[in-house]
Structure 1
């Protein structure tokens, strides 16, 4: 049996796994990505990413490719069955990440760009048509490619292998269930004539049939229809039923249906994201309903958080305890996203007439009073490798212009006067120290910041508990 070796083995070649591989390989880490499928899945799955993720594509030199695969999202409206606007978000054209706040995109185009970039990295390999067979140990995984078994010996393994995650199952890690489970029909379509189609993203909060209509990447649309209790999901996949559902939305000949599928929208969170040198990221670690558009985004934040920490640990520049901060930082952020997405879903999915009437009356009254809510800031990271009791820590440092291109990968120590356009962001402090994932470590006196950062990397006593923030489950 042949043996392959690398620093980091990534199981799963979707956006999260290949992004993590690109970040690691860029920094000289040897990485193997194993992927069961031969080709990029040809149809869209994720639909949305935000300004922070566009900033990540910028870091990898993929901003142009991302813009070709995407279009900025404008307004996002919640409407009731009568067509009244219950809620409207107008997405800013310039958000703190330095890009438009919200983007709708075509996943296959972006995945191909990620793979093409990875192919240019001399320390990275993508092994397609390769199935996961199990673990021999926490650093040795068994695989099969074209009916030929082989071993991969790696210093670390990251499972980015999706919602059903064979890696998570092999580790015996269980999932926390948030109690939201709704089946929806998803229809993807190619635009033939967009003139009669909605020009903004919509949530139709109709108790008879909650519906989503969104723009996707250039030239594409998506509709989602909730399947009510007692209805058979298989009935919704027929041509006649789909034509019936789309009739109020689509003038004849305006679109060509590209895909139809029934998905279950739910909230799940792995109790444990790390066992020794094996870690989970993306859908392997967490899943959420799509109403907030943060499912893929959350996985890509995992990749950005994990990449620089793995690099430092593998190079001996940081204690292995640094890997414990991955879950303590990321899980509270993801948990908040799941809870917010579920709350939005509960507004959309309400079918009880009394509840719907009260919802509509309350939201219309708020809107009439000028209290239309604005999108909330991205939740802060949880405790971990951040300066304790620091008001600036644990949030992403804003980007003005294309500052990141000038500053490079990081970490950054930005002193007052170094970059006059950024002085206002220091909030009166002498300096701010920004981690490689663009999150602020802390602010204060420059020498003290540097010393605190270096000490935190090489020692275990962070100013927080390194225990997982929710109970652990499984074996």
Structure 2
């Protein structure tokens, strides 16, 4: 066995693995990341991101490089059996609550390339491509547990990698999950779909819809998405009688696209057939091994949340690992903190999957009469006037784990544009990305000093030189929730809020006890 012991080994170098490696490497951790592929996967996968994920990219310092590959998501118009508009999904209004366009479409391969360049720039991260994990063993010793990964290179030779923790970001057929004995729970969704990306020419663009579309048609439910530039995507439901492999050939794909365009209108860029599932791991941690991304869950494709969920996973897990690796949190409290990762993310995935399945039930009703009844109910519910529904409104907040029982707990805390000596910047650029206590009034007398020291807590008052916002995003948020202070976690979720100094002191004491087992 090698003498090097990494802080964290990451198996899988897709978006989730790259983000995890970047966040850990940025914090100075010794990281090993490997993947069986040597290059970025080139088949059509994710096409949508939301503002929460862009905020994570901001933390990595890569958002400026990623923005050229992104464009605002157009409205998604749902059309029923007889071609009538039955629903319209849009994005929340300005000023944008997270400091970024709430929903964007993007081109995944160059975005992944940006993430990989970031990781390559971090001296404490070792990247090992073209290797396959063939063994995993946890070695429990008195003072610590090490995880040993056996990896095999393409030339057939193998070696052992040792780390204090392992994160399996190795996809739906995860080796790490299998070797750890973690099982998947079926959330009852299993359908074949064809995903197609084309690059349309001017003639083709004139033929195509000017918004994204959900065709809620019993004969052939499908989705059309306007991607960046001239990139257009279809996600087309396949019938059980159809051969997915044949559908994914150029001939089969053009036959399915002929309703909209022909080869004279566009270049077929890439296509793949998938079976979309709704699955979630029964547990997300086995000792010092964690799973994230598609290794931990698979979801229906509606609303483009697959990659977003994987980034949410590692954003949640990394700050907790850092707290333990840096010994800010230890003992039984460290175990509870690491356990909270799976508790929080599994329930969030289950809730979002339930919502996505309900959206899918609207899109994919195969019975014509039931579909007509669906259309009529949706129109009756809005009194015949289809009103825009922001996509962000359907995303759940955290409801379990390390959050308090208070207003807005478990929700994403806003990120306004704030004044700085260099001009307007997003709040995280001013305050950093750790634990933050943000209040309307001077909280100096209410700050728990033990908690401040334990968490390296940043304390800021709205309206101070440190936190003067431009568009009243925070002021409106505090007013809406009728609170005066918020404790915000490093992953930007609200631990808890308080309306008075006394309530703030109690909330801090509760957090201190949860993280250290101590009372002040």
Same fold (TM over 0.5): yes
Alpha-carbon distance between aligned partners in 1 of 2:313 and 2:78, rounded to the nearest angstrom: 30
Instruction: Work out which of the residue numbers 392, 395, 408 in structure 2 matches 1:378.
Output: 395
Quick check: 1:143 aligned with 2:151?
yes
In structure 1, the partner of 2:446 is none
Deviation at 1:246, TM superposition (A): 1.3
In structure 1, the partner of 2:293 is 282
1:159–1:281 Cα contact (<8 Å) kept? yes
Within a 5 Å distance, the mapping from 1:188-267 to structure 2 comes to 188-193=197-202, 194-250=205-261, 253-267=264-278
1:44–1:108 Cα contact (<8 Å) kept? no
Identify if the C-alpha distance between structure 1 residues 459 and 54 changes in structure 2 by more than 3 Å, giving closer, same or farther.
Answer: same
Alpha-carbon distance between aligned partners in 1 of 2:83 and 2:3, rounded to the nearest angstrom: 61
| Length, aligned pairs only | 460
Q: Secondary structure at the match of 2:322?
A: helix
1:3–1:150 Cα contact (<8 Å) kept? no
In structure 2, the partner of 1:300 is 311
Quick check: 1:436 aligned with 2:479?
no
In structure 1, the partner of 2:430 is 406
Quick check: 1:356 aligned with 2:356?
no
Deviation at 1:141, TM superposition (A): 1.0
Q: Could you state the TM-score of these two structures normalised by the residue count of structure 1?
A: 0.92
In structure 2, the partner of 1:456 is 514
In structure 2, the partner of 1:425 is 477
In structure 2, the partner of 1:392 is 408
In structure 1, the partner of 2:143 is none
Q: Secondary structure at the match of 2:58?
A: helix
In structure 2, the partner of 1:369 is 384
In structure 2, the partner of 1:472 is none
In structure 1, the partner of 2:177 is 168
Alpha-carbon distance between aligned partners in 2 of 1:134 and 1:458, rounded to the nearest angstrom: 35
1:106–1:218 Cα contact (<8 Å) kept? no
Q: Which runs of 5+ in 1 are unaligned?
A: 462-475
Identify if the C-alpha distance between structure 1 residues 93 and 86 changes in structure 2 by more than 3 Å, giving closer, same or farther.
Answer: same
In structure 2, the partner of 1:23 is 23
Kindly provide the CA deviation profile for residues 163-212 of structure 1, in whole angstroms up to 9, marking residues without a partner as x. 11011111121111112111011111123222332221111011111111
Deviation at 1:395, TM superposition (A): 0.9
Q: Secondary structure at the match of 1:409?
A: coil
Alpha-carbon distance between aligned partners in 2 of 1:366 and 1:251, rounded to the nearest angstrom: 38
Deviation at 1:403, TM superposition (A): 1.0
2:90–2:388 Cα contact (<8 Å) kept? no
Quick check: 1:119 aligned with 2:134?
no
Deviation at 1:283, TM superposition (A): 0.6
Identify if the C-alpha distance between structure 1 residues 299 and 414 changes in structure 2 by more than 3 Å, giving closer, same or farther.
Answer: same
Q: Could you state the TM-score of these two structures normalised by the residue count of structure 2?
A: 0.84
Deviation at 1:110, TM superposition (A): 0.7
Alpha-carbon distance between aligned partners in 2 of 1:264 and 1:301, rounded to the nearest angstrom: 23
2:344–2:400 Cα contact (<8 Å) kept? yes
1:6–1:154 Cα contact (<8 Å) kept? yes
